Amino acid sequence: MGQTPTSDDLRNRLVDEILQDVRLTADVERAMRTVHREAFLPGIDLEEAYVDQAVSIKDNPLGGPLPLSCASVPSVVGMMLSQLEVQPGDDILEIGAGTGYNAALLAELAGDNGHVTSIDIDSDVALHARTMLDRAGYRHVHVMERDGLIGAPENAPYDRMLAAVGLWDVPAAWWGQLGNGGRLVLPLRWRGQTRSVALTRHGDTLVSEGMELCGFVPIIGQDGEKTTALNIDGTISVIHDEDQAVDAGALGNCLTTTGIEVMSGQRIGGEESFDGVWLRATATDDRVCRLQVMPDALAQELLLRPAIPGRSPILIDRDSLAYLVVRREGVDPQRPHRLGAAAYGPHAGELAQDLIGHIEAWGTARTAVPRLSITPAKSAVAAGPGHVISKPESRLRLTY
Question: Where are the domains positioned within the chain?
Answer: 7-213, 225-363
pLDDT at residue 97, as a whole number: 95
With beta carbons less than 8 A apart as the criterion, state whether 344 and 323 touch.
no
Res 32: pLDDT = 98
Is 72 marked active-site?
A: yes
User: Biggest alpha carbon distance in the chain?
Assistant: 69
Q: pLDDT by residue (tens digit) across 136-195?
A: 999 999 999 999 999 999 999 999 999 999 999 999 999 999 999 999 999 999 999 999
Question: Would you give the DSSP letter of residue 3?
Answer: P
Q: How far is CA 269 from CA 33, 332, 339, in A?
A: 33, 9, 11
Catalytic: which of 7, 56, 69, 72? 72
Strands (E) in the chain, as ranges, are 55-58, 69-71, 91-95, 115-120, 142-145, 158-163, 178-190, 193-202, 205-213, 225-229, 236-241, 260-268, 288-293, 312-317, 320-328, 337-344, 371-376, 387-390, 394-399
pLDDT tens-place string over residues 99-109: 999 999 999 99
Reference 33, options 84, 104, 123; nearest CA is 104
Q: What is the mean pLDDT of residues 315-339?
A: 93
pTM: 0.93
Dump the DSSP string for 249-298: HHHHHHTTS--EEEEEEEEE-TT---THHHHHHHTT-TTEEEEEE-HHHH
Is residue 90 pLDDT above 70, yes or no? yes
Cis peptide bond upstream of 74, omega within 30:
no
Spatial CA neighbour of 101 closest among 141, 161, 68, 61? 141
Does domain 7-213 match CATH 3.40.50.150? yes
Rounded CA gap, 395 and 269, in Å? 36
CA 268/CA 263 separation, integer angstroms = 13
- Lowest mean pLDDT: which of 46-55, 64-73, 284-293, 329-338? 64-73
Q: What is the model's pLDDT at position 379?
A: 86
DSSP string, 311-330: SEEEEEETTEEEEEEEEE-T
- Tell me what pLDDT residue 59 has: 54
Query: Quick count: other Cβ atoms within 10 Å of Cβ 135?
Result: 13
